[in-house]
Structure 1
Amino acid sequence: MSWNFPKFKASLHRRWEYLLPTGSVNETERIARKVVSESYLPKTQIPFLKIQHGKILLENANFRQALELLVRIPWVRDFRLNLGMFPFKKSFTFEGFENALRKSNILPEEWGLRFRSQVKGQNQWNSGNLQTLWESSIPLSSRIKTTELSALLVENEIILNLSLSGEPLNQRGNFIPLSKSAPIREDLARFIIQKMHHILPDPDGIFVPFAGTGTFVREAVDSILGIGFTHYTRNYLFQDMEEFPNTTWDFLKRKF
């Protein structure tokens, strides 16, 4: 298979995915529709939203519009670029895939790929088969920074999405589930705090009687101070892309 992607341009309309914490889809949809209709950026063509289980799809949107939605929903778990749907035949291979991504200015030179797959529907293939196919085509990345390439195989077609985050957007520590506890991720904590602010705009205090209280305290303070993932001392993949709109990003950071 010959891999070839068009040159990535910030002005071109693409399809973007926003992965969300469990239970946040309905509220996020409401906010996302408001963002799309009341954008702070110059309007070119109005994008449209689709809602799927656990995520929001933004279609017909350029890079700047995608970044605005990302910044205005501070509990997004991952921000992805849809690379497309491809026929999955016997001759299918990932050979040349990574180089094609780099030539298109989507994958920066300093970033490598880690592969995650899922199989749905009637299929002779499983995730293990896809992992083997990937490892036989793509050498193990020696780069310090890596990001996730997700593959969804549905019968005879494979859908590929590239994480433009590198790691979960709000992650500031290693999330290690404990056998006798229920730690909570930063993004879910931020969403719950936003809901609590909506119910009680000016509370005297909040008692959180379960594990993960430390995360709630930190996220609550950050939400009061207006601190979000855009202020973390981290480099996200999308910031390393050649077409990254620095001026737009600085404007969005000041605005929110």
Structure 2
Amino acid sequence: MNIKIEENLDRKIKKYIYGKSQVAKLIFPAGLGSIALYETEQILNNLWFPQKFNSKSTLLKNEILIENIHMFSITELLMRSLCLTDIRLVIFEGKCVGKEAFEKHCKSINWNLFINESMSLKLKVDSVASKAFHETGLKEILSSILKDSVKEIVSGENTSETTCVFADLYKDKLTVSISLAGDPLYKRGYRGTLSASAPLREDYASCLLLKSMQFVKKINENFDIHNLFIPFSGTGTFAFEYLQYKYNCAPALLKREFALQKMPLFKPENFNFLLKKAKENCLFFKEISSLSTKNNLNIICNDNSKNANDALLENITSYKNLISNHNLEAHIPFFDINNNSLLNRENFLKMDFTKLNFIGNLFIPLNPPYGIRIGSNSDSANLYKNIANKLNELSKTTKKVNSNILGFILCPNEETWSIFCRNLFCKESETFHFTQGGIDIRVCLFYI
């Protein structure tokens, strides 16, 4: 690239991206917007790189809109968030009536700030409440504008795009945005073998874990978790996401790439500063002697599927290698593959809890098999009744040592939720809903 062109581009990036406030769209797992908003505001109120703007966050139906935010702060959200699915930088907003106006506005965008010839793009156009727009035609217009500025424009589900550009029309308002994540943020980078039974996504899992922490703090502000016991643990999603939360491990430390890093506007010095702060704040990189005893955590992943356990062991190896790949030795003593207490291959409903020797409070996230994973609805209802009875049995064991149980269970329908709640003996409970794969999931939080 010509030196003068490079200098001109740098000036534009400094002026239009880093010299003024931005607008961003944060995408969250369906139905879990309030908890994603909570995490977002926690990060923005405790930034590692403080911003000069007073940002405003608004929870909408399918996204969180953040106005008046600095690009550095958007980058920090991208690197730190556990609960978000995507972060999109808004690059145009304005009135748009007719195809000619759409083409004019899209041509007016300084695309060289966001894309280059090494990138592949996917285009998504959404037109609502406007008879004047046809999505296919608008996508063709946008494609013709961008095709000469990128390596290729791809379409379809199984493609390898660098990132995605979104053109959203509502009546006569056009919003154009670009994903800074590229691959969805729930793709942390450590997962190898996937379960054949559709595992819960990482962003969903983190939202549920954070919601549980809010729930228990209302009951017992000093509640401390000493044991993480995960029946139906599968490939370990709840275990990994809880570690990320408890030990303040930013997802960026797992070495996944973001589309932002390939964009002309990317500032590597800022990114590296935030990566350094992530290491400083992650308890995995603290000396063992500096970790208080209350930070010690006993993890038991329980699943009687050999395939699930084999995949979990692969993921543990990958996770530890990624964490330790920062020129610092990560101390994860409770995730020792040679530790026999980590994996329990018994049938949960037949376990003898006296042999587990739990000391201290338990946290039990439950995502039992349901739907096609187990068979008929009657089988599911019976399973949930048996799980409730098994938890009652466990609570008798923990009461002997003055320990309490915090947990939640995912229920695929009202019948399984109802039978579980009727049979569980608990001190406090709370129910909320989210949607996954078109299924309305009821989540029962409980404190025993």
TM-score (norm 1): 0.77
Structure 2 residue 206 is matched with structure 1 residue 190: yes
Q: Which range is displaced more, 83-92 or 155-164?
A: 83-92
C-alpha change, 1:94 and 1:206, in structure 2 (3 Å) is: farther
C-alpha change, 1:88 and 1:175, in structure 2 (3 Å) is: farther
Aligned partner letter, 1:191: C
1:218 aligned residue (240, 254, 259): 240
8 Å CA contact retained: 2:163, 2:182: yes
Whole-Å separation in 1 of the counterparts to 2:238 and 2:167:
33
Whole-Å separation in 2 of the counterparts to 1:218 and 1:39:
24
C-alpha change, 1:175 and 1:27, in structure 2 (3 Å) is: farther
Cα displacement (A) at 1:43: 4.3
Structure 2 residue 160 is matched with structure 1 residue 160: no
1:205 aligned residue (220, 228, 232): 228
Whole-Å separation in 2 of the counterparts to 1:147 and 1:49:
24
Cα displacement (A) at 1:19: 0.8
Corresponding position of 1:69: 77
Cα displacement (A) at 1:228: 3.7
Structure 2 residue 266 is matched with structure 1 residue 244: yes
Cα displacement (A) at 1:224: 4.7
Whole-Å separation in 1 of the counterparts to 2:143 and 2:254:
33
C-alpha change, 1:109 and 1:99, in structure 2 (3 Å) is: farther
Aligned partner letter, 1:163: S
Whole-Å separation in 2 of the counterparts to 1:205 and 1:166:
32
C-alpha change, 1:160 and 1:250, in structure 2 (3 Å) is: same
Aligned partner letter, 1:151: A
Corresponding position of 1:57: 65
TM-score (norm 2): 0.47
Q: Report the secondary structure of 1:21's partner residue.
A: coil
Structure 2 residue 237 is matched with structure 1 residue 229: no
C-alpha change, 1:137 and 1:127, in structure 2 (3 Å) is: same
Q: Report the secondary structure of 1:248's partner residue.
A: helix
Q: Which range is displaced more, 137-146 or 190-199?
A: 137-146
C-alpha change, 1:12 and 1:109, in structure 2 (3 Å) is: farther
8 Å CA contact retained: 1:186, 1:215: yes
Structure 2 residue 126 is matched with structure 1 residue 118: yes
Corresponding position of 2:370: none
Whole-Å separation in 2 of the counterparts to 1:248 and 1:137:
31
**How many residues were matched structurally?**
248
Corresponding position of 2:165: 149
Corresponding position of 1:91: 100
Cα displacement (A) at 1:72: 4.1
8 Å CA contact retained: 2:39, 2:83: no
Corresponding position of 1:13: 21
C-alpha change, 1:214 and 1:94, in structure 2 (3 Å) is: farther
Unaligned runs of 5+ in 1: none
C-alpha change, 1:45 and 1:85, in structure 2 (3 Å) is: closer
Whole-Å separation in 2 of the counterparts to 1:11 and 1:248:
14
Q: RMSD between aligned alpha carbons?
A: 3.6
Whole-Å separation in 2 of the counterparts to 1:176 and 1:99:
43
Larger radius of gyration: 2
Indicate the structure with greater helix content: 2
Q: Report the secondary structure of 1:8's partner residue.
A: helix
Aligned partner letter, 1:153: L
Whole-Å separation in 1 of the counterparts to 2:13 and 2:31:
33
Cα displacement (A) at 1:222: 4.2
Q: Report the secondary structure of 1:162's partner residue.
A: strand
C-alpha change, 1:177 and 1:202, in structure 2 (3 Å) is: closer
Whole-Å separation in 2 of the counterparts to 1:71 and 1:169:
9
Aligned partner letter, 2:98: K
Instruction: Deviation per CA, 1:197-251: give whole Å up to 9, x if none.
Output: 55364142333548x6532233334445544421233321212334434343334
